[in-house]
Amino acid sequence: MARTITDTLRLIGGGSFLDDAETRLAELVQAVNETGRNGKIELIINVKKTTRGGAMLISGKVKATLPAGEPMEVVLFATDHGQLTPDNPVQQCLDLRVVDNQTGELIDPDALERRENYDKE
C-alpha cells in the first residue's frame, strides 16, 4: 500500500523534519503578526536513488524567510571632503545661550547643568 506524503515526511529525520517545520512556521506566523510584513516557509524534499535495487535516500530541509524588521536610519550630510556629519555644513550654526530671567545675564551652560543636577539630589 502506498504511503501518503505526510507519512513520508514523518519518516524524514525520525520525525524531526516535521517538528522543525512546525517550529519554524510558528516563528514565521508570530513575526508576520508582529510586523505586518510577508514571510515564507519552504519545505525542500530531495530524493536520490542510492542503489540499483530501488532504495531511495529522502532528505528534507526547512527554510523560513522571516519578515525584515524596520530599517535603522539617520539623516547625515556630506561634506566637501566626502565625510558624513549630522550638521548641515552649508547651514549657519547659531550660538544660542541661556539668559537668566531675573538678572538678564548670560549663564554658563556647564554651570546650569551642574546646578540642575545639584537640585535633583
Q: Which of 96, 101, 5 has the alpha carbon at shortest distance from 58?
A: 5
Residue 121 has a pLDDT of: 62
Q: Where are the alpha helices (DSSP H) in the chain?
A: 5-11, 16-35, 109-120
What is the value of pTM for the model shown?
A: 0.56
Q: What are phi and psi of 45, to 5 degrees?
A: -115, 120
What's the grid cell of residue 40? 515564507
Residue 120 has a pLDDT of: 65
Task: Assess whether pLDDT exceeds 70 at residue 118.
Answer: no
First to last CA, the chain: 82
